[in-house]
A and B are shown apart, each in its own frame.
Chain A
């Protein structure tokens, strides 16, 4: 059991969600008599949810810095109508339409980011205003009509990769993606081993490495097979490829780049971040602006999928994205949350939708179930934190490790009761950092009162 942690690395919480997702898929597979894990259904799952998952990537960054963005659905809608109309009425090429759409998203993002970062309007309010304004703007520009989009954009929102080369029984593009993924898994294992040697760390045992590689490769092979054996002309969907690229890019940005560190630092303790030379304004500005750009992208993918842009596109998307982020383990108070976790959270919601639908459950019951799942997932998270346990799996691992805790660790645990006031301290800091006065980036607690 201890090797479970070694198997998957640090973040146990995320793997709890991943196991939940797999369990959910298997449950529905059985409950529907095998309708879930079929090529066409899995393609639908990606195509029908890619836009929410794209939004979740941006939303988790906004939530980690301590804000929220309610305007994403409206922003996506307004970008969608602008892209559709410019292509139809101005006769510009489709790719220029997309560029215009992204540019509009950027401008909207700069606008909202400015209000949040430099004027000090809380993100909740600035984007609530944006939600109303851009919904209206979408309907004003489109005169509340639906506007069709060209094929290329439809390809982006629901198309498939080309078939080429020899007949392998699978779609060769999908096969290629699978091979790249497997190559990466193996390459990474070598990297890890090499790195452990370099920094004098104990490399993982051959057994652990072997198991990890086997599990990951098996999953990749299965997914490749599933997506590669759909009806002719289908493959791993194009929006799925786009999504994977975005996940990789934003995972690197949040986990490996300085900007990502700044996002977590500002969300975790704004005052401490400011005193470490991090510009809180720039960080807020980036998170908000970036969110609108991703909303623009989501809007474009969506109009491609639905073949036209309409006046009610994007309704309630912000809520789906926010739910995905919180199911994925983000903290309401900021500072905690990951891109991969949010994607898993989004997939949990998507799988629920899809599985319940295939079981013939009506949308009324589906919504109730989704609501309860969100509530329970976050309640479980809150409960685990109060108990000081990371999760069920985490608790199991801890229980097994407990027997061999070193005396040094004990000393540290013993120190814990003394420092329990910390959370209270944090709250004081954030409440003192009045969001309506961004000039006071650094609240100076007690000393100034005379």
Chain B
């Protein structure tokens, strides 16, 4: 974009919480009609900055000026910022599953005539909005019937309904598969062509490189750098350097695998959808894991990867139909999560906040929670053993916390994930299943988690990694299975696999 008109300027924003400066003299300049990316590690202050911009933190709680179209604005709440055309779409979608697309789009902003909601008019407007975001669904469809990608589009349509002039997207693609992500980015490009300004917070550097016109990097509450595309194409390494303040030689630790014999085998695994009897979510899946091996599972969202591993982990998903699991040559039965843990399986779920952690609990209690029996003496939980165990993991995994007595809710995403990993390492598993182990984690912490996964494999365990990020699987896994529509469609060794070959197998549908 060649326009020089500045849409938004945030000047010298400083925001203090009791005892800590979350933002320290941050400056952000966004030109009209550009896609502006904001990068930074978790805890860097990106979300805080966006909350200042959208009025969640009202004028008066921060120092500095927010200048929109050349005028200083003083938003007192979300409503007043929306009135000015600033609309934020949060990472966690704020749609109500039971309500229809139309109802969601106009929620809080209903089309009212003579005191009553005009549903006909609302529907007509919804159809128009959906056309603008390229979503072809009936406006009467309840949100719960839509996929995550479609829901994201509904959120954007909702933003458009508010006459948006500055669209803020917080990690818009973190829950989307590659195809939906690409669609979303394409949509953003389309908006840019029509002159809409967008701000995008993202961890995915390739996406930033693909769409952003400029990048502002924030570290520890301070602006580090603003990079413009006009200065040449965006360099991912430069962004990473800016974010972590050091150069990462490689995003993956170098690793020489030490792979043993096959010890875990799944044969002809068939599982039925718990909600729709008759619909199979795993169709004769067979795979194996060797000792010391990191096995990747690639697949598009909805392919059935998570469902497959969870149905094996104590049938915690779906209805078991047939198939067998063999461990160390013997068939084992895992009807409950408890039995799976006893047999040495561990499952780190994809969503640590809703599935992995009790956010009300402390670190030390969380660490021992998946195998309390280990530290129960005379029916009582041994507090000392609990402390010793938690303290051990705090040191070895370098969990950043003043004490293991702290609540897990106080930790950053990466440290929370380390606590979840500690919780499962404590169960002394032979096979660790990690579902999206680095989702929503910053680059520095990712590296640490990768190193940890490799260590676990080197100690003779088997590791399964389910990931939506192909570069992650390619960098980490020794062998990759591809999953599509509940079937295992391919198996590639590290040397055979690349993004194209994986993507081809991930989209192989058998009819």
A interface residues (Cβ-Cβ under 8 A, vs B): 10, 195, 198-199, 252, 256-258, 261, 264-265, 267-269, 271-279, 335-336, 388, 398, 402, 405-406, 408-426, 428-429, 432, 439-450
Is there contact, CB below 8 Å, between B369 and A265?
Answer: yes
Any chain A CB within 8 A of the CB of B310? yes
Least CB distance from A251 to B in Å reads 12
Is there contact, CB below 8 Å, between A425 and B380?
Answer: no
Ordered nearest first, which 4 A-B pairs have the shortest CB separation?
Answer: A415-B43, A268-B358, A415-B412, A429-B354
Is there contact, CB below 8 Å, between A257 and B379?
Answer: yes
Is there contact, CB below 8 Å, between B353 and A257?
Answer: no
Is there contact, CB below 8 Å, between A414 and B22?
Answer: yes
Contacts of B380 in A (CB 8 A): 252, 256-257
Least CB distance from A319 to B in Å reads 26
- Asked if A273 meets B147 with Cβ closer than 8 Å, knowing A414-B45, A415-B412, A447-B307, the reply is no
Residue with the highest number of chain B CB atoms closer than 10 Å, among A277, A398, A409:
A277
Contacts of B406 in A (CB 8 A): 412
Is there contact, CB below 8 Å, between B365 and A261?
Answer: yes
A265 to B46, CA, bound (A): 32
The total of chain B residues at the interface (CB under 8 A) is 84
| B31-39, B370-378, B503-511: which lies at the interface | B370-378
Any chain A CB within 8 A of the CB of B292? no
Is there contact, CB below 8 Å, between A412 and B405?
Answer: no
A279 to B316, CA, bound (A): 11
Contacts of B423 in A (CB 8 A): 276
Contacts of B409 in A (CB 8 A): 419, 422
List 21 A-B residue pairs with CB atoms under 8 Å apart, sorted by A's residue number.
A199-B388, A252-B380, A257-B376, A257-B379, A258-B373, A264-B358, A264-B360, A269-B354, A271-B354, A274-B337, A275-B355, A277-B341, A388-B18, A412-B406, A416-B410, A419-B409, A421-B92, A425-B354, A428-B354, A429-B353, A442-B316
Least CB distance from B52 to A in Å reads 10
Least CB distance from A217 to B in Å reads 24
Any chain A CB within 8 A of the CB of B116? no
Is there contact, CB below 8 Å, between A442 and B357?
Answer: no
Any chain A CB within 8 A of the CB of B90? yes
Is there contact, CB below 8 Å, between A415 and B358?
Answer: no
Is there contact, CB below 8 Å, between A335 and B360?
Answer: yes
Mark out the residues of chain B between 314 and 338 whose CB falls within 8 Å of any chain A CB in the assembled complex: 314, 316-317, 336-338
- Asked if A402 meets B19 with Cβ closer than 8 Å, knowing A199-B388, A264-B360, the reply is yes
A432 to B355, CA, bound (A): 12
Is there contact, CB below 8 Å, between A273 and B372?
Answer: no
Task: Point out the residue from B18, B42, B91, B147 that lies within 8 Å of A415, measured CB to CB.
Answer: B42
Task: Point out the residue from B44, B347, B355, B391 that lies within 8 Å of A271, measured CB to CB.
Answer: B355
Q: In the complex, what residue of chain A is closest to B370 when comparing beta carbons?
A: A276
Contacts of A276 in B (CB 8 A): 337, 369-370, 423
Task: Point out the residue from B22, B307, B357 that lies within 8 Å of A272, measured CB to CB.
Answer: B357
Is there contact, CB below 8 Å, between B358 and A275?
Answer: no
A272 to B45, CA, bound (A): 28
Least CB distance from B439 to A in Å reads 11
Q: In the complex, what residue of chain B is closest to A252 when comparing beta carbons?
A: B380
Contacts of A439 in B (CB 8 A): 274
Task: Point out the residue from A410, A415, A449 that lies within 8 Å of B144, measured CB to CB.
Answer: A449
Contacts of B46 in A (CB 8 A): 418
Is there contact, CB below 8 Å, between A416 and B17?
Answer: yes
Is there contact, CB below 8 Å, between A279 and B388?
Answer: no
Task: Point out the residue from B175, B338, B402, B416 that lies within 8 Å of A277, measured CB to CB.
Answer: B338
Any chain A CB within 8 A of the CB of B387? yes
Any chain A CB within 8 A of the CB of B413? yes
A410 to B19, CA, bound (A): 7
Contacts of B413 in A (CB 8 A): 418-419
A269 to B355, CA, bound (A): 8
Least CB distance from B316 to A in Å reads 5
Q: In the complex, what residue of chain B is closest to A336 when comparing beta carbons?
A: B360
Any chain A CB within 8 A of the CB of B489? no
Is there contact, CB below 8 Å, between B355 and A412?
Answer: no
Any chain A CB within 8 A of the CB of B448? no
Task: Point out the residue from B18, B90, B148, B359 that lies within 8 Å of A426, measured CB to CB.
Answer: B359
Is there contact, CB below 8 Å, between B19 and A444?
Answer: no
Is there contact, CB below 8 Å, between A444 and B310?
Answer: yes
- Asked if A444 meets B20 with Cβ closer than 8 Å, knowing A265-B358, A274-B337, A336-B360, the reply is no
Is there contact, CB below 8 Å, between A408 and B402?
Answer: yes
Is there contact, CB below 8 Å, between B354 and A414?
Answer: no
- Asked if A446 meets B148 with Cβ closer than 8 Å, knowing A265-B358, A418-B48, the reply is yes
Any chain A CB within 8 A of the CB of B296? no
Any chain A CB within 8 A of the CB of B204? no
Contacts of A443 in B (CB 8 A): 354
- Asked if A413 meets B19 with Cβ closer than 8 Å, knowing A277-B341, A444-B310, the reply is yes
Contacts of B350 in A (CB 8 A): 447
Is there contact, CB below 8 Å, between A445 and B22?
Answer: no
Q: In the complex, what residue of chain B is closest to A439 when comparing beta carbons?
A: B274
Task: Point out the residue from B175, B317, B411 that lies within 8 Å of A446, measured CB to CB.
Answer: B175
Contacts of B416 in A (CB 8 A): 419
Contacts of B43 in A (CB 8 A): 411, 414-415, 417-418
Contacts of B347 in A (CB 8 A): 275
Is there contact, CB below 8 Å, between B306 and A444?
Answer: yes
Any chain A CB within 8 A of the CB of B5? no
Is there contact, CB below 8 Å, between B358 and A273?
Answer: yes
Contacts of A442 in B (CB 8 A): 310, 316-317, 355
Is there contact, CB below 8 Å, between B353 and A422?
Answer: yes
Q: In the complex, what residue of chain A is closest to B221 when comparing beta carbons?
A: A414
Task: Point out the residue from A272, A398, A421 that lies within 8 Å of B356, measured CB to CB.
Answer: A272
Task: Point out the residue from B275, B376, B400, B412 that lies within 8 Å of A419, measured CB to CB.
Answer: B412
Is there contact, CB below 8 Å, between B358 and A277?
Answer: no
Any chain A CB within 8 A of the CB of B107? no
Any chain A CB within 8 A of the CB of B118? no
Any chain A CB within 8 A of the CB of B242? no
Is there contact, CB below 8 Å, between A425 and B353?
Answer: yes
